[in-house]
Structure 1
Amino acid sequence: MVLLQKKKVVIIQATPSGRKALITGMPFFNEFGEVEFVLSYSYEVAELLVIQEYMKELEYEMSLAKEELSLLRKENLIIEGLTIENRSTRVAFETARNAATLDVPVVLYGESGTGKSTMAKVIHNESTRKDGPYIEIDCETTPEAMFERELFGGEFEDKETGLLTLSRGGSLYLKGIDKLSLHLQGKLAKVLKERKYTPTNTETALPLETRLISSSESTLTEAVSEKTFHQDLYYMLHIVPIHLKPLRERKEDLSALITNYLNRYSTAYNTAKKLSDDLFKQLLLLQWDGNISELKNVMERLVVQSPSNIIIIKDLPPEYRKEISEDLSIIHLEGRTLPSILEDVEMKVLRDAQERYRTTTEIAKFLGISQPSVVRKLKKYTDIE
């Protein structure tokens, strides 16, 4: 066959003893392009199967090692009040941790309840100022006249009560800085530019020895272009911008937080509640406009109000109880073979399990199949996409 085809040939051949052998023939050509020699070698198929099984076991061991490494990395990133499962959250945290040691201003962006205050505390705790004070002021809820007094202090009260003074050697977190009036934005810009401030009704300037961290629900870049935010202040604050996505876009974080708050409130109220699979899926599909604050409220209500230890969809507060069409009903059947339909179902089940469980080992236990099977199936559907 090699002589006829003048190329490498691989076949499976039966031996006189009845065994199967994989035979490979390789041609070697002379200077005239003719086959001068043929090198042939063979393996018993049984030997190849043994090698294949060995490779599968090796692949399984490697996947376990990767999972353990991933878990160890996650354990190193555990912070009270901050869940780091989603890739965008991890990027935000690593950016914050890198910026913390540089002692530069940081602006945190995100909807209300996405964890900006927690991230501000992380930055302070990871910085060289961690042993100094950490003070937070809400720019939106503090009246303008009182804000100036709170920030700078002055002769009308104890000079040490100004927040810039009280936070000396530490960090001052300006929550909702986009809500600050342009007048106060200008004053703050001057302080940052000169690196000193003068308490109200006094003449003695004090050095600025505070690290400023600020947050905003809206993009400051747009506010500058709309002339609702002081341009100089923007350039001085916007050194390291960090964006925190809403909870509805962080399914991995949401899944972990649901379990975390379920366990927390079950312990707090001396009970042992569990979520039905349908309810867990429902919670993952909700919008969570109030983000973590809203999720905490709903989880506490579920634990307190559910009559049985298994919490079901009917236990949801009325405003959250929505009918969801069964996903399987949208699978198109016409003109398709059963294996093709089953592949769609399998892919959906695996994705649902992937949203709920962190590792392929947990997914395998939940689905009642082996961990290598989970790895292969996930890789299969990832490759399809």
Structure 2
Amino acid sequence: MSGFYLHPNSEQEIIDTTEEDIIVTNHQGIIVKASKISGKHYDINPIQLLGRSVYELENEGIFSPAITPLVLKKQKKVVLVQTTPADQKVLITGIPIFNESNEIEYVISYSYEVSELLIIQDYLKELKHEMKMAKEELILLRKKSLKIDGLVVENRSTRRAYESAKKASPLDVSVVIYGEHGTGKTTLAKNIHNESARSDGSFIIVDCETIPEALFEQKLLGTDNEKIGLLSLAHNGTLFLKGIDKLEPHLQAILARVLQEKKYSPLYSTEKMPLDVRVISSSEVQLNELPSFQKDLFYLLHIVPIELKPLRERKQDLSYLIPIYLQQFSLKHKKVCSFRDDVYNHLLDLNWLDNHHELLNVIERLVVQSTSTIITMEDLPIEYRLPTEFGRYNVNLEGSSLPIILEQVEKEVLINAQERYRTTTEIAKYLGISQPTVVRKLQKYGEEN
């Protein structure tokens, strides 16, 4: 209040220079000061207000209602809407000024037309919108660091894949994620959904490999009696076609038609249901390399292709994942474990054909089954010890020729590989030989048993 004089005959008043509607009354309700625009709302010259009682002005219908009596009564700031003689709405704020005896000496009131406040409100809305845009830009800048909760993105190929995913996430376009089983395709698909404009919608997984072919249409479209299908659940959200390369061609044609028309009919119904979804697919093989894959569906899905490399090609990621998973299972099973250096290096050298799924399984087994908190090579399952030390295999060297010794080692290696891998194709890939050779040798050693 420096420079705001309330004493008579003050030579300079801040109130005289302001362009705001300000009125000062004393504790008796007499107007002692008024700014030069104070009477504008009431069609009165501000000089005519000086010396007038607010009670009289209220009785005359000029102040309706007067704010000073309310401030004196409540002993605090009061805000109200006043109606002027011209039927205008004015928002008035009254503020008490106390003396040394803690009694109200003056009441200062200032007012704005409601129409002026609406302009201010529009300005604040615009300002809020600009703040939101700035906040979103800041979030985008922060995301450039590519730190993703629960994921390791150290390898160059992995970083490239997640950078592509981040660019595609806000765009409402189809994405195909390529990669072997267990490389994290579903995790990446969920991340794209969470970073998209559809993040508040559903993320519905259609497992094209496990849903029985005979039930696929029913599960996808719903029926006349039960209209809830996977498509209806995914409406306004994301439809994740997991393992799209496993879908039969005639079902691909149905899916292509639905996605093209953006509407569908439940089974046994003629009713057309709208479909608004963002489609993300995953495949273990390149779709354009499948002769039976529907071209119409390929062009609908293959807008943004992203490839996730297997763990055996991502040693940098693997070197971070192994200790992370070890800590995770140590906490889960309340058993603090660590790897001996040779075990850690051996785990880095394994092929991990099932990628994350296999790595998680093996590390949890090691934590649970190890007899000590220091995990050694002896704690590894036998199928994961090959081919580090041939001396560990049950080979009888005494009286045996080299061809016989090599045949015994080959037999044990193949039998152990058969225990570890699901198919002869995986065994062949791991051992670096052809699949027919694997089949022939397994048949040979199987007959010997």
TM range (shorter): 0.5 to 0.7
How many residues align? The count is: 249
Q: How many angstroms does 1:220 deviate by?
A: 0.4
Match of 2:200 in 1: 131
> In structure 1, what is the equivalent of residue 282 of structure 2?
215
Of 278, 291, 301 in structure 1, the residue corresponding to residue 342 of structure 2 is 278
Is 1:237 the counterpart of 2:301? The answer is yes
AA matched with 2:215:
M
Q: Which residue pairs with 1:64 in the alignment? A: none
The amino acid of 2:348's aligned partner reads L
The answer as to 2:215 corresponding to 1:146 is: yes
Q: Which residue of 1 aligns with 2:355?
A: 291
Structure 2 CA distance, aligned partners of 1:313 and 1:145? Answer: 48
One-letter code aligned to 1:242:
I
Question: Distance between the aligned counterparts of 1:323 and 1:176, measured in 2?
Answer: 32
Q: What TM-score do the two structures reach when normalised by structure 2?
A: 0.54
C-alpha distance after superposition, 1:150-208 (max 9, x if no partner): 11112142x1x211111111111111111111111111111122222122111121222
AA matched with 2:352: W
Q: Structure 2 CA distance, aligned partners of 1:106 and 1:119?
A: 11
Secondary structure, aligned partner of 2:245 = helix
Task: Give the secondary-structure state (helix, strand or coil) at the position aligned to 2:181.
Answer: coil
> Which of residues 149, 171, 189 is equivalent to 1:79?
149
Asked if 1:322 is matched to 2:392, the reply is no
Indicate the SS of the match to 2:183: coil
Note the C-alpha offset of 1:323.
4.5
Could you list the per-position Cα deviations for residues 323-353 of structure 1 after superposition, in whole angstroms to 9, with x for gaps in the alignment?
A: 5379xxxxxxxxxxxxxxxxxxxxxxxxxxx
Report which of the two has the higher share of helix: 1
Query: Does the aligned pair in 2 maintain the 1:74–1:84 contact within 8 Å?
Result: no
Q: Is residue 167 from structure 1 mapped to residue 245 from structure 2 by the alignment? A: no
In structure 2, the residue matched to 1:58 is none
Shift, 1:75, TM fit: 7.0
Give the 3 Å change call, closer, same or farther, for CA 311–255 of structure 1 in structure 2: same
| Aligned with 1:189 (options 242, 249, 256) | 256
Given the superposition, is the C-alpha separation of residues 73 and 168 from structure 1 closer, same or farther in structure 2, using an over 3 Å criterion? closer
Distance in 1 between the 2:387 and 2:206 partners? 42
> CA separation in 1, counterparts of 2:261 and 2:331?
52
Q: Which has the larger radius of gyration?
A: 2
- How far apart, CA to CA, are the structure 2 residues paired with 1:323 and 1:229? 39
Residue 78 of structure 1, CA deviation: 2.4
Alpha-carbon distance in structure 1 between the residues aligned to 2:143 and 2:229 = 41
- Calculate the TM-score normalised by the size of structure 1: 0.62
Secondary structure of 1:85's counterpart equals coil
Percent of pairs with identical residues? 55
Question: 1:102, 1:75 → 2: CA distance?
Answer: 20
Give the distance between the partners of 1:104 and 1:76, measured in 2 at CA. 21
User: SS in structure 1 opposite 2:305?
Assistant: strand
Query: 2:146·2:163 contact (CA, 8 Å) conserved in 1?
Result: no
Q: Provide the residue aligned with 1:107 in structure 2.
A: 176
Q: Does 1:302 align with 2:360?
A: no
Counterpart among 155, 180, 185 of residue 224 in structure 2? 155
Give secondary structure in 2 for the equivalent of 1:189: helix
Query: Conserved in 2, the CA contact under 8 Å of 1:74 and 1:85?
Result: no
RCO comparison, higher one (Cα < 8 Å, 6+): 1
Match of 1:204 among 247, 263, 271: 271
Contact kept? 2:189, 2:280, Cα under 8 Å? yes
8 Å CA contact 1:84–1:253 kept in 2: the answer is yes
Cα distance 1:299–1:153, how it changes in 2: closer, same or farther (>3 A)? Answer: same
Task: Please tell me whether residue 176 in structure 1 is matched to residue 243 in structure 2.
Answer: yes
Give, in whole Å, the separation in 2 of the partners of 1:73 and 1:204: 44
Q: Which runs of 4+ in 1 moved over 6 A?
A: 72-75
Query: Distance between the aligned counterparts of 2:187 and 2:386, measured in 1?
Result: 31
Alpha-carbon RMSD across the aligned residues, in angstroms, is 1.8
- Mark the CA change 1:73 to 1:252 in structure 2 (over 3 Å): closer, same or farther: farther
Any gaps of 5 or more consecutive residues in structure 2? 1-141, 391-449
